[in-house]
C-alpha cells in the first residue's frame, strides 16, 4: 500500500517517514520528548531525539513564547 502511495504521489511513503513525521509534528506542537516516546512506543529517548531533530530553532522559540 505504501509503495503504491509513493508511486502515485512521488512522496516518500514508508513506516519510517510516518513515525518521523508523527514525532516531529508532536514536538512542533510543544509536546516534550518523553511524552512523544510513550505515544510512539519507543523504548529510549535517543530515537525520539533523532526523529525530532528536524524541528528548527524558530519553531521551538514560537512554542516557548506561547507558553508565557
C-alpha 36/C-alpha 26 separation (Å) is 7
pLDDT reported for residue 37: 95
By C-alpha distance, which of 57, 40, 56 is closest to 48?
Answer: 40
E-strand spans in 1-53? none
Q: Are 60 and 30 in contact (CB under 8 A)?
A: no
pLDDT confidence of 66, banded at 50, 70, 90?
confident
Residue range of the domain that includes 31: 14-66
Q: What does pTM read for this prediction?
A: 0.68
Q: Is 43 contained in some domain?
A: yes
- Of the candidates 48, 20, 18, 43, the residue with the CA atom closest to the CA atom of residue 33: 48
How many domains does the chain divide into?
1
* Residue range 36-58, pLDDT digits in tens: 999 999 999 998 988 888 767 67
Asked if residue 63 has pLDDT above 70, the reply is: no
User: Residue 23 pLDDT more than 70?
Assistant: yes
**Under 8 Å between Cβ of 31 and 37:** no
Return the pLDDT at 68. 58
In-domain check, residue 26: yes
> Is residue 5 included in any domain, yes or no?
no
Amino acid at each position: 500500500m505504501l509503495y503504491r502511495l509513493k508511486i502515485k504521489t512521488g512522496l516518500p511513503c514508508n513506516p519510517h517517514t510516518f513515525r518521523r513525521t508523527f514525532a516531529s509534528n508532536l514536538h512542533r506542537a510543544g509536546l516534550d520528548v518523553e511524552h512523544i516516546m510513550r505515544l510512539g512506543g519507543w523504548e529510549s529517548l535517543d530515537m525520539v531525539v533523532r526523529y525530532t531533530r528536524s524541528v528548527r530553532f524558530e519553531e521551538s522559540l514560537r512554542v516557548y513564547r506561547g507558553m508565557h
